[in-house]
Amino acid sequence: MEFPTIYLQAAFLGVLEGVTEFLPVSSTGHLILAIDVLGFAAPPGKVFEVAVQVGAILAIMTVYFEKMWGLLTRWPHDKFARQQIITIALGFAPALGLGALLHDYIKQVLFSPAVVASALIVGGIAMLIIEKFKPNARVSTTETITRRQGLIIGLGQCLALVPGVSRSGATIMTALLCGIERKVATEFSFLLSVPTLLAATVYDLYKNHTLLVSHDAAVIGVGLMFAFFSALFVVKNLIAFVGRHGFAPFAWYRIVLGTVFLWLL
């Protein structure tokens, strides 16, 4: 592949990651499909698909810096800050354990276009059903999400270990089933993404560091930078969009995209 082309592709894939990471449409699924279509010479071990998420993490940390810093500085003397940190930890723990246990199987078997396309369709149908039959919202702030609800959301997040399911989609839909208001469910998914994506990225880089070369780092860096700026835009606007339109547009998008790719495959 010509030298400039791989960086242009990395930039495009970074934008794709940033735009889709916090939408309930599966960023990993989009990257797998796009990499397959582009013939992108990605770094080995599927590292690019995971490492580029650091850009999205930095976007969340930029937007929610004040809130997260407040939690970290207040937790020793503020029971509400401790409650939130524990709730986020409980939401993070199941995916951490199961992801570490099944890491190699997921990367070797499930990172395929066929799995992604199928998961997009099934997930889209599930979103439509949940949107229609979800219980009335009883939780209107992230501070009042209980530890039990945090753990249930964490168990729901484990579904996103299957590429194409969507981490944000799984957490938000599970939160809706727990009676959490749409905007709050979305914001909690944002906060939960920081430890989840960081852990996945660090673990992947550790597992595959011997396979990487300096050229790979440059390609990942380009994708990461473009992911940051595009994710920044999405994070700043998604909650308002969800408040007005709900999640049905994303569900139909998933179903159409998955159907098209299954047909192409």
For the record, the structure tokens of 1 come out as 């592949």
**What pLDDT, on a 0 to 100 scale, did the predictor assign at position 20?**
92
The whole-angstrom distance between residue 159's C-alpha and the CA centroid of its chain comes to: 12
pLDDT at 211: 66
Per-residue pLDDT, 33: 87
How far apart CA 27 and CA 50 sit, in angstroms, is: 10
SS3 call for 41: coil
- For the entire predicted model, the pTM comes to 0.87
pLDDT value at residue 214: 66
Beta carbons of 91 and 153 less than 8 angstroms apart:
yes
Please give the angle made by the CA atoms of 167, 169 and 174, to the nearest 5 degrees.
Answer: 100
Residues of the chain with confidence (pLDDT) below 70: 1-4, 44-45, 209-214
Task: For 113-131, write each residue's pLDDT tens digit.
Answer: 889 999 999 999 999 999 9
Closest CA to 41 of 172, 259, 218: 218
What local confidence, expressed as pLDDT, does residue 102 receive? 84
DSSP secondary structure string for all residues of 179-230: TB-HHHHHHHHHHHHHHHHHHHHHHHHHHHGGG--HHHHHHHHHHHHHHHHH
Number of Cβ within a 10 Å radius of residue 225: 18
Can you give the pLDDT at residue 112?
Answer: 85
**In 3D, which of 66, 51, 50, 23 has the Cα closest to residue 233?**
23
Question: Are 231 and 60 spatial neighbours (Cβ–Cβ below 8 Å)?
Answer: yes
CA separation for the pair 141, 10 (Å, rounded): 37
Under DSSP, the state recorded for 110 is I
Distances (CA, A) of 137 to 25, 76, 176, 181, 246: 23, 31, 7, 5, 14
Residue 2: the pLDDT is 46
Quick: pLDDT tens for 170-219.
999 999 999 999 999 999 999 998 998 888 888 877 777 666 666 778 88
User: What is the rounded CA–CA span in Å between residue 19 and residue 181?
Assistant: 23
- For residue 56, the 8-state DSSP code is H
pLDDT at residue 1 in the model:
42
What is the reported pLDDT for 156? 95
CA 212/CA 151 separation, integer angstroms: 36
Contacts 24+ apart (CB under 8 A), 103-110: 103/203, 103/207, 106/161, 106/162, 106/163, 107/45, 107/46, 110/161, 110/162, 110/163
